[in-house]
Amino acid sequence: MEDKKDTEPENGNVKVVCRFRPVNQNELDRSGEKQICQFSKNKKSVTILRSKNSDGSVSSNKFTFDRVFDTQVTQRKVYEKAAKPIIEGVLKGFNGTVFAYGQTGSGKTHTMQGPDIEDLEQQGIVPRMIRTVFNRINSLDDNVEYTIKVSMAEIYMEKIKDLLNPTKVNLKIKKDKDRGIYVQGLTEQYIASETDVYNIMKVGNAKRTVASTQMNDASSRSHSIFIMNITQNNLDDHSSKSGNLYLVDLAGSEKVAKTNVCGTQLEEAKGINQSLSTLGKVIHALTDKKIKHVPYRDSKLTRILTESLGGNAKTCLIITCSPSSYNELETISTLRFGTAARNIKNKPKVNKKYTVAKLKLIVSQKNKLISTLRERILCLQNFIKENGLEVPSDKTLKELAVKLGPEVDKIIKEEQEMNDEEEKDNSERDSEGSKIDEDDADDLIDEENKEKSKKFLQLVESNTDNSSKTRDKIMAEYLKIQKLLSQEREKCQKQVDLISNLKEDHQIFQLKIKKLSLIRENFDNYKETTEQKVNEFKEETEDAKNKLEITNAKMTKVKRELAEIKKLYATAKAKVERYEEKGTEFMIDESKQNKEFRKKVKALHDQIAERDQLLSQIQHNPEVSSDLKAIIEESQHQLLDQERQAMADSDNPLLKKFLIEGGDINLVPKQDSCYLAPSDVERIIAKQKENQKLLLEKKKKASNLKKENSDLLAKIASLANIEKSDLESVANAMAEEKLEDIKEQFTNEKEKIMESLQIRSEKVLQLDEKTDIPYKKSTKLRDSFDSDHSDKAKIIRNYEKNIESLILIHLQTSFELSAMKVEMKVSHRQVKSLTKKLESAKKDLKMKSDDNKDLRKIVSNLQNTAENATFFQHRNTIVSPHHSTLRKVIKKTKKS
Ligand SMILES: Nc1ncnc2c1ncn2[C@@H]1O[C@H](COP(=O)(O)OP(=O)(O)OP(=O)(O)O)[C@@H](O)[C@H]1O
């Protein structure tokens, strides 16, 4: 088994190990299986056999490192030799760094992470280090408390990105007295188990900038840094140690011609090569004594690695190489880089701190020592006095100090060295984890002082006999004690200063804690208020949603009602139009026929009168024979037939009706006048009945209309009720006053509507009466026809009058209907605009659902509009605005 020291560099130098990966397919294709590296048996050097020179000879370069790993080495071996000593150092309180450098595709990520971080065989050094940490923690005593924090960052195109919080993309590097160099704002994740770290690593690795190049399918385009801080608090001696571990997987150096990258990848390659070249410069500056300035600040990478390169850290550089001749130049360049880095000297030290309690303890020990020394001086002075000697003055003492100075210094130095050695032993014992009990420490100091006093007294006693001889010695001893005292005082002062500094720090820290707790408190309050507000807002939103839903439902209902009203209105309108058309047709037809009929009847009357006259003259003429009279009578009949035929042939449909459908008109010649035959009267009566029937139909229609109107009214009233209920539901949220106002308004409007309804009912009754008049008249006429045939002509005239009045009524109805039609059109438009308003109101409501004020306003407007519309609807269906004017026109017509 190899010795551990085998790979340990001396004097804190950076440890450099070199790893060659197996040849890959790309290299096999290009340069075959031939390898350019020869590994030494002691595993410390590698010889690169370079290409043939022009004379056929082969030159070679030998490179020596702390360890060289050949192509077949296992991941475990690399870890044990390269990284394990570093993590062990970190666990002792040192800072540690492991970083991999090499050509792109040479195996840096393979070495650092491994193909699978959870595969125990294949995992790289990062997961193995983590396992070591947790194994160590679990095996140690309970008197040490561990705190582990991890961070992951990448430097991409000279910008530091937090891999655990990728929103942090351009973080700054800072320096602090306590923390040293650190990345400001970088997420630090506290971890408690191996699994925690693996999970974090998976998250961080997934965020890394990786791209496929000709040299590597998954080429890292950034430098990735895994930082682990391990702090150990020793509960026994109140000391704390803190070690930072930096695990850096650098982006690969690359020859652009080989990687064949362009665009962003070309820019990346430039950035990568630039920062790696700065790393080379830093290493060069650190190893060349002539160069005073180290350009750490020239790149983010070297700035972060300041402590790792030439500072307070134990560092291991792993250089990774390709064994193929295809990458010969890159391999040699990498090996040279490693060789240079080997010369970097680091100054690692344990980052140990004492707690205030521990420092107080040290001060009290020193104080004890001072008082012991004082006592010793007093004792010495007394001894001098007792021996009749004079205690030397300060001046004499100073002179003596000058005289005996070198001798005293020598004694002090010897003692100092002894102390240092003791301290070192203690420190080593500390670092090994050995414990010293506080009481034991006190005892040790007391023992030490007693021992010193004893020695001193012995010295004094031995010197008493020959005081003159030993006086100088005593004085020297005295001076030595004085000097030791002042040194101890100084030390003590330093410790006191340190304590006061620590106290100050402690106070600042406590202030910070106070501030933080205040911030926390504020934050909690803020959070609480915000949560409350959010809840309130949620509730409000829920309310608003409910309200909106209710309003929507109401709107839909109102809309549905309106659509029904519109439908009813359309049906009513269609009915009215049909009625109007039929009425007008009928009226025109009737008036035409009646006129012609009257004309014909008049003409017939005239003819009959003439003939009657002639006939009576002939009949009363004695000169006319009875035969002639018969002939005349015969011819009269013939004439009548002819006339009847002519009438039947005429265009008058009424006459035709009479003659063709109803049979003959028998004109009965009378002595002084001519009357209609009873059969004709019967027909006229039938006609009258038909008219009556028509009138009844009209009446029926009027009553239907009335019914429809009342239905409409009921609908409108229910709509008004809906609006009212809407209003009431919204008004609940409104002020009481507003509600009263609206209710009052509503009642007024309702009263108005009821009034107009009353008026309309009256009007309908009037209309009914009007339609009843001709009916009654025709009944009367029929009665009169029945009672007295002799008054038939008179009745016909009455009948004609009645027909005229009927025409007028029809005209009136027609006017009324057309006026109603116009108004219904207006009403229709109003209904349309109302629908539009309702729709826009609905939209508004949707948009401002949470604004109750607006809602109230809109609903109030809506209610007013709906009420107005309802009112107009009533008015339009009930009262014609032109009714009085119409009546005047009818009156005029009647008169004329
Ligand atoms: N020692 C090894 N044994 C087996 N395979 C290896 C070894 N080293 C590297 N590889 C393989 O070589 C390929 C490139 O390795 P890797 O990604 O680690 O290179 P890299 O140096 O990190 O590259 P880049 O700088 O481009 O990110 C990977 O497929 C990896 O698995």
> Highest-confidence range of 192-196, 245-249, 582-586, 779-783, by mean pLDDT?
245-249
Atom of ligand 1 at shortest distance to CA of 100? 21
- Based on the fold, state whether residues 512 and 656 are members of the same structural domain: no
**What's the pLDDT score for residue 317?**
95
| Mean pLDDT of all residues in 85-97 | 92
User: Phi/psi at 465 (nearest 5 deg)?
Assistant: -60, -50
- Residue-wise pLDDT for 490-514, tens only, equals 777 777 777 777 777 777 777 777 7
Is residue 274 domain-shared with residue 163, that is, in the same domain?
A: yes
- Check the annotation: does 105 bind a ligand: yes
* Structural domain that includes position 207: 14-113+129-352
DSSP single-letter state for residue 81: I
Cα 847 to chain centroid, rounded: 21
Integer Rg of the chain from CA: 63
Q: What is the pLDDT of residue 879?
A: 37
With a CB cutoff of 8 Å and minimum separation 6, the contacts of 341 are 14, 16, 283, 287, 309, 317
Is residue 452's pLDDT more than 70?
Answer: no
Phi, psi of 301, rounded to the nearest 5 degrees: -60, -50
The reply to whether 501 and 644 lie within a common domain is: no
Residues 25 and 39 in one domain: yes
- Indicate the top mutation candidate among 17, 18, 20, 21 to test ligand 1's pocket, ranked by most ligand atoms within 8 A of CB: 21
> Do residues 376 and 509 share a domain?
yes
Q: Model confidence at 419, in pLDDT bands (50, 70, 90)? A: low
In a domain, 119, yes or no: no
Q: Which structure tokens are listed for 282?
A: 């830093």
Ligand 1 — pocket residues by CB below 6 A? 21-22, 24, 102, 104-110, 115, 216, 218-220, 251-252, 320
pLDDT confidence tier of residue 867, bands split at 50, 70 and 90: low
Same domain for 471 and 577, yes or no, is no
Which of 173-177, 421-425, 750-754 reaches the highest mean pLDDT? 173-177
Phi, psi of 102 (to 5 degrees): 170, 170
Claim to verify: residue 163 and residue 176 sit in the same structural domain:
yes
User: Mind listing the pLDDT tens digit for each residue in 28-48?
Assistant: 888 777 788 999 999 999 999
Chain-centroid distance, C-alpha 632: 116
The answer to the question of residue 473 being in a domain is yes
The complex's ipTM? Answer: 0.98
Q: State the distance between the two ends of the chain, measured CA to CA, in whole angstroms.
A: 144
Please indicate, yes or no, whether residues 635 and 658 belong to a single structural domain of this protein: yes
Tell me whether residue 375 is in a domain: yes
Q: Quote the CA–CA distance of 817 and 717 in Å, as a whole number.
A: 24
In a domain, 875, yes or no: yes
Using the 3D structure, point to which of 538, 557, 586 is the last residue of a domain. Answer: 538
Asked if residue 577 belongs to a domain, the reply is yes
827-840 pLDDT tens trace: 667 667 766 766 77
> What secondary structure letter does DSSP report for 345?
B
**Which of 494, 516, 538 lies at the terminal end of a domain, its last residue?**
538
The confidence score (pLDDT) of residue 810 equals 66
> Cα of 101 to ligand 1 centre, how many Å?
12
Residue 582 among known ligand-binding residues: no
DSSP characters over 460-498: HHHHHTTHHHHHHHHHHHHHHHHHHHHHHHHHHHHHHHH
In a domain, 193, yes or no: yes
My answer on whether 699 and 745 are in the same domain is yes
Atom of ligand 1 nearest to the CA of 110: 18
Final residue of a structural domain among 538, 560, 587: 538
326/443 same-domain check: no
- The answer to whether residue 7 is domain-embedded is no
Instruction: State pLDDT tens for residues 873-887.
Output: 444 433 333 333 333
pLDDT on residue 332 = 92
Which CA distances in Å does 592 have to 586, 646, 801?
A: 10, 19, 15
Count CA atoms closer than 13 A to 363's CA, side-chain side.
16
Same domain (yes/no): 675, 727? yes
46 close to 335: Cβ distance less than 8 angstroms: yes
**CA triple 881-887-889, angle to 5 deg:** 110
Given the structure tokens 């006061």, which residue do they identify?
500
What value does the mean pLDDT of the chain take? 73
Domain of 299: which CATH number?
A: 3.40.850.10
Distance 843 CA to ligand 1 centre (A): 64
d(C-alpha 439, C-alpha 365), whole Å: 11
- Which among 357, 407, 352, 325 has a CA at the least distance from the CA of 231? 352
CB 499 within 8 A of CB 356: yes
Q: How many domains does the chain have?
A: 3
Q: Would 302 be classed as within a structural domain?
A: yes
In a shared domain, residues 553 and 430: no
Q: Concatenated DSSP letters for 366-395?
A: HHHHHHHHHHHHHHHHHHHHHTTPPPPPHH
State yes or no: pLDDT of 626 exceeds 80. no
Distance CA 848, CA 106 (A): 65
